[in-house]
Structures are given as structure tokens and as C-alpha cells.
Amino acid sequence: MSAALDTASSMIDRIRHDLVGLKMPRALEALDHVVRRLEHGELSALEAIDILLSEELTLRENSRIKTALRMGRLATIKTLAGFDFSFQPSLDKDRIFTLAQLGFIERCEAVHFLGPPGTGKSHLATALGVEAVKAGKSVYFTTLADLIAALARAEREGRLQERIRFFCRPSLLIVDEIGYLPVIAGGGNLFFQLVNARYERGAMILTSNRGFAEWGDVFGDPVVATALLDRLLHHAVVVQIEGSSYRLRQHAELMPEHVRSKALITPPAFTPPPKPRGWPPKNGHLSMTTQSALLGKFTAALTPAAPSAIQTSSWRSGWPTVLRMSSLTQDVGLLLFRLPGLGWPPAGV
């Protein structure tokens, strides 16, 4: 009996030594408890081995996730379980959980979260990033301002392509806060180079409080914005959140109505002020000098060499039949009807 106990004790010591050599601290910590349960008949040998390996694997997985989150700059951990979907009824919960299956990463797609501030865009983007890390995907989180600043600094130092390659390595790149801060001169071009490098090679999540129609203003260049959207919307999932700010939910009564309302992020269409109707009076107050100057501008507007000022659908006897002119040109045109001796409009038009 004593020999058997000595043999068991010696074997346990050898297992401890092996666990130390294999760098399995969690299994080593759980060994004594598992052995006691094994001696009491609560576990079989296979169950004991399974418990030791599971404990160690859990520790290593948690350590891997923690390191990956830190390297990916996901310092503030957000989860889908912690998101209040009842506060944002415009959001399709099933669609978000479908995204959490991470198929968009495999397909190298872009996911856009659009909506007013405080509606949960960054929360959802971070939560999907956390899910990707748990699934073993590499993730990097940054704001647009920080991203462009890093690219601009690399460009000054002659390391732009190296920095672009760095941002192309993660399976998922999250770019937060598009439209919140002004983009520096040339920043849109730098961002385009990165987007173009990742196009159909890596997935992205982007959050913005500005609609796509406003990206020309955001990046200060409509041409660059168009090129960006051409790539970012080709393989894309767009989630628009129309709701109130979750951060201000306890102070909603202090906010103006237009801020509390579930307003679309798309800006309202511009409505020009109403134009005065009727003809100028016969005894108008414009001098002949002013009339001549306006006539010169109107004549220039009618010249076919100025396509930006005039578009025609057909021509007859050298006169345009359908005109689309600026507000000033229309006013001048009305004036010309009252100027004597011009023969406007020509006969037969």
C-alpha cells in the first residue's frame, strides 16, 4: 500500500515537472484539485485529462484575445450582448447578428454604419471587431483623423507605402468617426490610396455621421470622394441608424426637438428662394451703362462655347429653344425683353 502511494506521489511530481516544462500554468494550478476528485471516484482518467487541457486552453485563449485586442487598439471592449437594441428600433437585430457571423470578412466586404451621434455606430463596429478577434481574425481599430495623420507623417518621412502595407495586414480594418473632424489637405488622397490597396483584399468597417452625398465636403474633394465610394460601396453592407442619442437618453427633455427627433442623416434638399414674378417696369431704374453690362453677360451665356452656363435640347434658326441658365442669367433675360431694339425673342421662336 505504501509503495503504491509512493508511486502515485512520484508520478504526480513528474506530471508537475512536465507541466512546467510545457508552460501550462493553469493545468498545473488545477492538478491537485483534479487528482483529489479522481481519487474520490468523481472523475475518470479521461475526464481528468480533459479538464486539465480545457483549463489550460481557456487561459491561453483569453490571453490571446487580450493581446489581440490591445494590438488592434480595441481598448474599450463593447459586445453585442451589451447593446440596447430596444433603444434603436430602426436597427434590424437579426441583420447585425448575421454580420457577427463574419462572412463579410471572408468576402472582403465593407460595412458602413451611418447615423447621428450617439446611435451606437462605434459600439457595433467595436463589437464586431471583438467577435472577429475571438474567431482568430486580425483586427485594427482607428479613427479617420488618426489614420490620415499616420499616413501623412509616413509620406513626409518617405515611408508611405510601408505604412499602407501595415494597414493592409489586418483581416478587418475599422475606421471610426468619418465626418466628425475636418480632413487635412491631401488627406482624402492618402485615404483613397489605402482603400484602393485593401479593395477586394481585406474587409473594412466604417462609421460616419454624414451621408454619402456629403463625403465630397468631408474629404474636400468630390472627385476623391467619388473614387472612394466607388470602391467602398462595390461590395458593401450599409446599415443606417435613425434614432436618438443613447448617451443623452436621460437628458432628452433638455435637447431641442430637432436633435431629439429621429432625423435622417441626409441633409434636406436645397430650396432656392422664390424669384420675383412679372416684367420689370417700363420706367426701370437701371441705367443704360448697367443695361449694356447685363446684355454683355447674357450674350456670353448664349454663346455655345460656354456649356457650363447653358444647355440646349435642340436648336432652331440659331436660337436655343430650351435653356438651363443661372439665376443671374434668367434675371438678365427677363430684362432684355424690356430693352428696345434688340428683336428678342427672334421671330418664329
CB-based contact 76:84 (threshold 8 Å): no
**Is the peptide bond preceding residue 345 cis, with omega within 30 degrees of 0?**
yes
**CB under 8 Å to 240, separation ≥6 — which residues?**
90, 114, 115, 264, 265
Query: What digits encode the pLDDT tens for the residues 58-89?
Result: 999 999 999 999 999 997 889 999 999 888 88
Place of cell 470578412: 105
| Cβ–Cβ under 8 Å, residues 114 and 208 | yes
For the chain, the straight-line distance linking the first and the last C-alpha, in angstroms and rounded, comes to 122
Q: Compute, in degrees rounded to 10, the torsion defined by CA atoms 43, 48, 50, 55.
A: 110
- Tell me how far apart the alpha carbons of residues 313 and 294 are, in angstroms, rounded to a whole number: 25
Regarding pTM above 0.75, the answer is no
Whose cell is 475518470? That residue is 44
- Give the per-residue pLDDT at 242: 86
- Residue 134 class from Cβ within 10 Å (0-12 exposed, 13-18 middle, 19+ buried)? middle
Measured CA to CA, the distance from residue 113 to residue 124 in angstroms comes to: 8
pLDDT digits (tens, 9 = 90+) for 264-294: 444 444 455 555 555 555 554 555 555 555 5
* 204 CB-near residues (< 8 Å, 6+ apart): 110, 111, 172, 173, 174, 175, 195, 198, 232
Q: Which residue has the cell 474520490?
A: 40
143 - beta bridge partners?
A: 176
Positions in the chain short of pLDDT 70: 1-6, 246-349
Indicate the CATH number of 85-260 among 3.90.226.10, 1.10.645.10, 3.40.50.300, 3.90.230.10.
3.40.50.300
Name the residue ranges covered by the structural domains of the chain. 8-69, 85-260, 278-349
Give the number of other CB atoms < 10 A from CB of residue 265. Answer: 19
- In angstroms, the CA 310 to CA 324 distance is 5
**pLDDT for 349:** 43
Looking at residue 321, the DSSP 8-state letter turns out to be: S
Cα distance between residue 81 and residue 247, in whole Å: 18
Q: Are 141 and 176 in contact (CB under 8 A)?
A: yes
What's the grid cell of residue 168? 493592409
3-state secondary structure of 260: helix
